[in-house]
Structure 1
């Protein structure tokens, strides 16, 4: 990667993180987090560029994944450091973040993960974190934890199907409204709001997860039949086309519903006091 070395020591970053965690003004000898955030943004952009140079056609066909990057804001970083007071800033995994999203099934998601781990080599050490088991407040995705010895930095790559991504956007909006603690197992005090949170979590872990597994199985059956080299009777070919169309229609309805939910929650934001957890 063509990137200037990080100009701060691990010790200086650790002390900066302590100041941010405790809400104390950092002394002049410590770096400004605005500068740190810019460096991590460049680090994330460099990883994003490596991913965008990859050829995904063998995995995703003609579909092109959306790949974006960002660095963590000072508020979300301070919140993370306060949530785990033993965590030091240089060891925060996702200060530099990259996100890859695409319409794909679960097996294709696994194939994308493999493609990335095979190509993020050299100085980079990669650890796969599969978060699709439903035990993370409904959040489902596969994350890559990246560490660079050369740059003394860490980054996180989030790999999501379109369904996982749209659900995460809706849940993130809900967290902005009623407190980001719902992302870590807590529920709002208001029973009606807590019920909404639980229902959205169950939508991901039951309804959406079940649909994604069923879709994956159906598409794998289609691929096995198509790759068998046997001429298809017209009726069989028609059935395959019908199954594909039904899957596309189902996904369209799911994504439209999740997008509508997110837009509705966005409209409610101005009426919500996150500190009270109610409308």
Structure 2
């Protein structure tokens, strides 16, 4: 179906608010094309090691979007959608990069990436990768586990309180109250708190990424650099011992001039110039300080990791609270 024909179909859907008998066959052909593209995307994702759930927008939701956003049907890029859920933010970034690279390498229209973490839509956060199969767009939602739980709670609440809450509108009967675990909240307050929880989840996941990056830097660079310095100190102490053995009179090592250090450097180019300026009588103190600094950094990182673990536990508990509220209202958990 041509782009123009698809857009004309969309105009008629928006105007009538339903699929008329005259448009039924054309609409079915269009949906079949999107369904085929979606199945192909699911197979590709499976080949990449990602188990994706898939869906085609319902007719009601599609028409609502065409009317709400005054969109052309050819511009609706999430009519066919797949969802991939990964453990955390780092895996999310990796999945987005792998999926984008895979589809770009196939040729055709390049992928488009919408990062809704930096620019959330009323609390909704994820990364959307728009791919094209024979020019048919398919939206792949890549979510972390916590992002997915949050989004599903909002979607289920929207089924009962009105889909407008997904777009920043008040729920239906906003002052109606719900009670869960002894807490009485209005629907409006519930949605507001759910929005704050989304921000907390984003902060937690960002901290996790930062902590992992620091740990890697610490393990790969700080530790190796410190171990290198300690090895250099060992060598310098051995050199000190040999040099002292060659000095005929017992001279305190602190009085050895910088010229001796320069001589040592000429014979051992691996010693850095700034290390050579150290007075070797302080080598033991330097060694102790390095070990203490490494231990201190490790303790700080461990404490930060433990705080992040506690924050995640609190976040999951809050999500459970909202899920229970949804269940008590008859919304599937």
Distance verdict in 2 for CA 1:253–1:25, change over 3 Å? same
Deviation at 1:177, TM superposition (A): 1.7
Shift of 1:116: 1.7
- 2:214 is matched with 221
Q: 2:39 — aligned with what?
A: 45
Counterpart for residue 230 of structure 2: none
Matched, 1:200 2:206: no
Does residue 12 of the first structure (1) align with residue 12 of the second (2)? no
1:59: which partner in 2?
none
Match of 2:61 in 1: 76
Cα deviation, residue 35, structure 1? 4.7
The 5-angstrom pairing of residues 68-147 of structure 1 reads 68-85=53-70, 87-105=71-89, 107-121=90-104, 122-133=107-118, 135-147=120-132
Unaligned 5+ runs, structure 1: 1-7, 56-64, 271-279
Report how far residue 264 of structure 1 moved. 3.1
Larger radius of gyration: 2
Q: Specify the alignment match of 1:258 in structure 2.
A: 319
Q: State the Cα RMSD in Å.
A: 3.0
Distance 1:236 1:157, change over 3 A: same
**What number of residue pairs does the alignment pair up?**
249
Distance 1:126 1:25 in 2: 31
Residue 153 (structure 1) aligned with residue 142 (structure 2): no
Check 1:15–1:266 CA distance in 2 against 1; reply closer, same or farther (3 A cut). Answer: farther
Q: Is the 8 A contact 2:111 2:131 kept in 1?
A: yes
Could you tell me how far 1:156 is from its partner in structure 2? 0.9
Q: Kindly tell me: are residues 118 and 152 of structure 1, through their superposed partners in 2, closer, same or farther at Cα, counting changes over 3 Å? A: closer
**Inter-partner Cα distance in structure 1 for 2:141 and 2:23:** 34
Q: Which has the higher contact order (CA 8 A, sep 6+)?
A: 1
Q: Which secondary structure state, in structure 2, belongs to the residue aligned with residue 227 of structure 1?
A: helix
CA contact (8 A) 1:100 1:157 kept: yes
SS at match of 2:122: coil
Equivalent residue for 1:36?
Answer: 30
> In 2, Cα distance between the equivalents of 1:30 and 1:15?
14
C-alpha distance in 2 between matches for 1:259 and 1:16: 43
